[in-house]
Chain A
Amino acid sequence: MAPPPPPPPPPLADARLRLETVRLTALYGRRAVVKDVSILFPGHTVTALIGPSGCGKTTFLRCLNRMHELSEGGWTTGRVLLDGEDIYEPGVDPVRLRRRIGMVFQRPTPFPTMSVYDNVAAGLRVNGGRSRGDLDAAVERALQQAALWDEVRDRLRHSALGLSGGQQQRLCIARALAPEPEVLLLDEPTASLDPSGTQRIEELCHELKTRYTIVIVTHNLQQAARVSDYTAFFYLGELIEVGHTEAVFTKPAKEQTEAYITGRFG
């Protein structure tokens, strides 16, 4: 018996559509790791991508800012619409696109040769044409948004490697926020952090969604339940179910989803 197509997420009346994938398939060579995924990310919401390891969550995320095509043998079919425009159109410059869609990785990746300040300013400088004062203001704003300003304001010129793991990850968030992207992609941002670091990042998600559209990959189901408005469950490269987080966790439509969230597999 073929499963019926997943129902589209109920649209929020006040949310402007930001990001949407249409029949997106991601491949390594001839092997598809994301299969025919159509999903909507309403503006100013947090969507969590959950599922067992190797189910294609991260690859899917990397398709949203065209990072997947940089991997050996990586390519895609289907469409990804940002404000209604396909980011895989031939005329789109992936380098410019990535300045509109920020990304934070599993492990903190501060640039080791740069100071705290230079790390945050990196994405702004690459755009060029900013005065010193503008840059200072933008760096401070980004650090404030990432809830790191108070901790680093006295050591902006120090090496970013002097920060703790949790601080480094918030620094990476600040670095991603500084160029004021429209979408923020978080790939298991708390995977290498301790509980208090994790909590700070989760709180951040709540604050940041007033400005950004957030997509977060997580292995931690409690985290998905805590931070997200919508939850999408992936299994073996396919999108099994997507819906309001509360609905997915309390009365999932699919048996596979229920099995996963109750801990029977994955």
Chain B
Amino acid sequence: MTARRLRRRVVSTLMTGLVGVLSFLAVLALVLILGNLIAKGASSLDWSFFTRNPVPAGEAGGGVANAIVGTVIVVGLAALIGLPVGIGTGLYLAEYGSGRLGWIVRFVADVLNGTPSIVVGIFAWTWLVKPMGHFSAFAGSVALAVLMIPMLARTTEEMVRLVPHSLREAALALGYPRWRTSLRVVARTALAGIVTGSLVGIARIAGETAPLLFTALGNLNFSTSVTQPMQTLSLQIYTYATGPFAEWHRLAWAAALVLMGLVLLLSLAARWAVRSRHGAPPAPPAPPAR
């Protein structure tokens, strides 16, 4: 009896230790990345970094104002396109998606969710950049929206499904039409979860580089025209980090730190959105790594 208990205790301790070490490794990766970024990038963060545009190669100084503004525009436009479509699809799947059509939409969303982002970039190049004759921020936003939609659709569906069936019945028994039940009661109850999913989705696409390479392209100058090529932080990092100049490398580290901070901020906002409402469903699972 005591031997068995001892064995149980030993196994329990070993397993607890094992999962502890594994989770430490997972956290370690994030700590190392963030620490490295701060160590190499923080010193370059000054006022001019945020307010000035890049200077010609070889010159010292300059900033990434154009990339910061560009990121906000490209990601913002992508959210504008992606949020309604993704959330709408998720609502449809949760409320009416039990039939064959729902199965097909769900399957397509899952496939699209697993599609490498560079493939989506090529797709946007073929259908938007080529016909338009030039690279544009708009094409980049569309590519990012396409990445965002399946993620949002599935998250929204999960969140809406978490709403207890009894609430739906209560609304229907009160004489609510079905569409009104979906919008006024079910979607509203799932709102905190949907907002969280949206913020996590935006955070995901904010760091994308591959789909922007042949769409938004990048731009050394300040531009706010969505029909023209536009710089984003991720593209700036790519250009600077692969370039030959030490000054560029320095700026790439700083830009990476800013981008990381932006994503972190969105994640924190997502957490806050969940916590600020009681009775809210749990946070959605993190999207799969691409």
B-binding residues in A (CB < 8 A): 65, 67, 70, 95-99, 102-103, 105, 107, 109, 111-113, 122-123, 126-127, 159, 161, 172, 175-176, 179
Contact = CB atoms under 8 A, between A and B. Distances in A.
B176 A109 contact: no
Contact of A179 (B164, B169, B175, B191): B175
B174 A123 contact: yes
A99 B166 contact: no
Contact of B175 (A98, A109, A159): A98
A102 B172 CA distance: 10
Given A112-B189, A113-B191, A161-B279, A98 B172 contact: yes
Given A67-B169, A105-B169, A107-B166, A96 B175 contact: yes
7 contacts: A98-B173, A111-B171, A111-B189, A113-B277, A123-B175, A126-B174, A161-B279
A95 B175 contact: yes
B119 interface: no
Interface in B118-133: none
A113 B188 contact: yes
Interface string B254-273: 00000000000000000000
Contact of B173 (A65, A112, A127): A65
Given A111-B185, A113-B191, A161 B175 contact: no
B180 interface: yes
The 6 A-B pairs with the shortest beta carbon distances in the complex, nearest first, are: A99-B175, A109-B170, A103-B173, A98-B175, A123-B174, A112-B279
Contacts of B172: 67, 70, 98
B288 to A, nearest CB: 30
A98 B175 CA distance: 5
A173 B19 CA distance: 50
Contacts of B188: 111, 113
Contacts of A105: 166, 169-170, 173
A128 to B, nearest CB: 11
B177 A95 contact: yes
Nearest to B166: A109
A79 B107 CA distance: 42
Contacts of A127: 175
B278 interface: yes
A151 to B, nearest CB: 20
A99 B176 CA distance: 8
Given A105-B169, A111-B167, A122 B279 contact: no
- Name the residue among A98, A103, A112, A179 with the largest chain B CB count within 10 angstroms: A112
A97 B277 CA distance: 34
Given A96-B175, A123-B174, 14 more contacts: A70-B169, A99-B174, A99-B175, A109-B166, A111-B167, A111-B170, A111-B185, A111-B189, A112-B279, A122-B174, A123-B175, A126-B174, A126-B177, A176-B173
- Name the residue among B174, B177, B185 with the largest chain A CB count within 10 angstroms: B174
A67 B279 CA distance: 26
